[in-house]
Amino acid sequence: MVKSDTIAAVATGMNCSGIGIIRISGEEAFEIADQIFCPAKKEKKLADQDSYTIHYGTIADGEDMIDEVIVLLMRGPHSYTAEDTVEIDCHGGVLVMKKILNLVIRKGARPAQPGEFTKRAFLNGRIDLSQAEAVADVIQAKNEYALKSSVRQLKGSVLSFIKEMREKILYEIAFIESALDDPEHISLEGYPHKLGDKVDNLLKDMKNLLINFEQGRILREGIKTVIVGKPNAGKSSLLNMLVGEDRAIVTEIAGTTRDTLEEQIQIRGLSLLIADTAGIRETEDVVERMGVHRAKENVKDADLILYVVDSSTDLDENDEKILSLLIDRKVIVLLNKTDLLPVTTEEIIKEKLSARVVSISAKEKTGMERFADLLDEMFQEGKLSYNDEVCLTNIRHRSAMESAKESLEKVRESIALGMPEDFYSIDLMDAYESLGHILGESLSDDLVNEIFSKFCMGK
């Protein structure tokens, strides 16, 4: 366990709420708490009490009572930080929490840095770095799927998978080194072929993880969704219907939307980060032309494009230009204004673009069930579905995995070229160390500090 000073912070939000929690962790946590806690049973001393017990009383600064509280005791190493930890549950007033925290600091603790409690859990070996990062992901999860993925990682799904891969690599390194040291008893005859098969299996697992990284990003951040179409097709009406309020201005005048409007919505547990863009058409208006350019740029970065078509009119040259932007993209075509006499049909759209098509009326608020079904097909039941597989959601993990993959590919090349066995062991060790970076091994202090600095205060 890391020997360190005692830290303290408010572990709940600094706003008025039912309760507030002040967390204290470190060697002097119990001693500091005893200085300010007045138990209901006067003879009670917190330092003498068992771990995982709760005690009722008050917090006082000398003769002045600050609040009525309950105190939770957790002795290390069986606590969140693996250190002695005290949590003071008080009323959730901002002033009350500040006064208790200031009192704790005056009695010997210091203010915790952002993420320092979780950092101590990592440094003390209770969790690895991938689990520590999952804590932040759980807190920031925007949808059910992001939460499930983060909880699995917190429970050690990435840790277990990476440890298993490293154990396989380490076994091969040890075998090669042993054979080179004692060739009389350990033969390497036929070994390159056997190693090649094992490396191929490891590369397959790594490639699957890297392919699924994009799924992990979507699970964590939400689906970047862009609404496009020519002016007056009903894009802003669609946004208002999805959001459930009049977020965008809707008029009969074409070209009302000049800039990008962004909203986040939930549909059947999926998080959509929706951007409503300017209608795409040729225009002499300088401001509108800038909006059209921005719309085209948004299309390039989108995970999903909602192409809104006015089904009561024929496709025109503006639609043709939009269609050219959508080739080989994930697109749902929304045939809008189906409350009017249809002119452009699903068959006409499918002749021009391979995409899913659904008829809607933003005005009458119809067609949304079918739209939600299509989202299910694309992002839940299909290639990007959430499942129980290990999923990387962190760009740092992806970078380390790519480095490990490159090292194993060098091993494969060495085998193909008939290189000596000691060449294999060098690249195998590089792969082993790269995977260790995911778990937090051999990382610089600066990088570790940067990772935890992004955590919220009190965590």
- Mean pLDDT throughout 283-298? 58
Residue 252: is it exposed, middle or buried by C-beta count within 10 angstroms (0-12/13-18/19+)?
exposed
Which element (helix H / strand E) includes 309? strand 304-310
Split at pLDDT 50, 70, 90, the class of 293 is: low
Give residue-wise pLDDT tens across range 392-419. 777 888 999 999 999 999 999 999 999 9
pLDDT at residue 58, rounded to an integer:
96
C-alpha–C-alpha distance, residues 185 and 216, integer Å: 47
Split at pLDDT 50, 70, 90, the class of 459 is: confident
- Mean pLDDT throughout 167-172? 94
Inter-residue contact 120 to 81 (CB < 8 Å): yes
Sign of the CA dihedral running 407, 413, 415, 421: negative
C-alpha–C-alpha distance, residues 251 and 234, integer Å: 10
pLDDT at residue 228, rounded to an integer:
86
Domains of the chain, with CATH numbers? Answer: 7-128 (3.30.1360.120), 132-212+392-439 (1.20.120.430), 220-379 (3.40.50.300)
Split at pLDDT 50, 70, 90, the class of 289 is: low
- pLDDT of 170 higher than 80: yes
What is the number of other CB atoms lying within 10 angstroms of the CB of residue 376? Answer: 15
Split at pLDDT 50, 70, 90, the class of 292 is: low
Quote the radius of gyration of the chain (alpha carbons, Å).
29
- DSSP secondary structure string for all residues of 366-428: BSHHHHHHHHHHHHTSSTT---SS-----HHHHHHHHHHHHHHHHHHHHHHTT--HHHHHHHH
Inter-residue contact 54 to 72 (CB < 8 Å): yes
Which of these, 210, 389, 371, 258, lies nearest to 304 by C-alpha position? Answer: 371
Which of these, 435, 436, 445, lies nearest to 404 by C-alpha position? Answer: 435
- pLDDT of 250 higher than 50: no
- 3-state helix, strand and coil shares in percent for the chain, rounded to the nearest 5: 45, 20, 35
Separation in Å, CA 324 to CA 239, 248, 293, 347: 23, 26, 15, 18
What SS3 state is found at 423? Answer: helix
- pLDDT of 106 higher than 90: yes
Split at pLDDT 50, 70, 90, the class of 219 is: low
- pLDDT of 258 higher than 50: no
Which element (helix H / strand E) includes 445? helix 445-453
- Mean pLDDT throughout 365-382? 80
C-alpha–C-alpha distance, residues 276 and 246, integer Å: 13
- pLDDT of 286 higher than 70: no
pLDDT: is 355 or 79 the higher one?
Answer: 79
How far is C-alpha 25 from the chain's CA centre?
Answer: 27
Strongest mean pLDDT among 201-205, 279-283, 312-316:
201-205
pLDDT at residue 244, rounded to an integer:
66
pLDDT averaged over every residue in the chain:
84
How far the first Cα of the chain sits from its last, in Å, is 19
Give residue-wise pLDDT tens across range 68-87. 999 999 999 999 999 999 99
Q: Please name the residue that has the structure tokens 């392919």.
A: 211
Sheet (strand 261-267) strand order = 261-267, 270-276, 223-228, 304-310, 331-336, 356-359
- pLDDT of 141 higher than 90: no
- pLDDT of 383 higher than 70: no
pLDDT at residue 290, rounded to an integer:
62
* Angle at alpha carbon of residue 72, lines to 69 and 74, rounded to 5°: 160
Q: Are strands 17-25 and 7-10 parallel, antiparallel or unpaired?
A: antiparallel
- pLDDT of 280 higher than 80: no
What SS3 state is found at 130? Answer: helix
- Mean pLDDT throughout 49-69? 95
Split at pLDDT 50, 70, 90, the class of 388 is: low
pLDDT at residue 259, rounded to an integer:
45
C-alpha–C-alpha distance, residues 197 and 351, integer Å: 46
- Mean pLDDT throughout 378-392? 58
Question: pTM, whole model, 2 decimals?
Answer: 0.68
Inter-residue contact 16 to 120 (CB < 8 Å): no
pLDDT at residue 48, rounded to an integer:
93
Split at pLDDT 50, 70, 90, the class of 435 is: very high
What share of the chain in percent tops pLDDT 90? Answer: 38
Q: Which of 210-214, 345-349, 365-369 has the lowest mean pLDDT?
A: 210-214
Q: Where are the beta strands (DSSP E) in 136-191?
A: none
Split at pLDDT 50, 70, 90, the class of 22 is: very high
Which element (helix H / strand E) includes 68? strand 64-74
C-alpha–C-alpha distance, residues 117 and 24, integer Å: 9
pLDDT: is 223 or 23 the higher one?
Answer: 23
pLDDT at residue 252, rounded to an integer:
44
- Mean pLDDT throughout 263-279? 78
pLDDT: is 305 or 456 the higher one?
Answer: 305
With both helix axes pointing from N to C terminus, report the angle between 144-154 and 157-181 in degrees, rounded to the nearest 10.
40
What share of the chain in percent tops pLDDT 70? Answer: 87
- DSSP secondary structure string for all residues of 212-260: THHHHHHHHH-EEEEEE-STTSSHHHHHHHHHTS--S---SSTT---S-
Strongest mean pLDDT among 43-52, 266-275, 313-322, 404-413:
404-413
Residue 189: is it exposed, middle or buried by C-beta count within 10 angstroms (0-12/13-18/19+)?
exposed
Q: 441: which 2 tokens?
A: 């091994």
- pLDDT of 285 higher than 60: no
Inter-residue contact 103 to 142 (CB < 8 Å): no
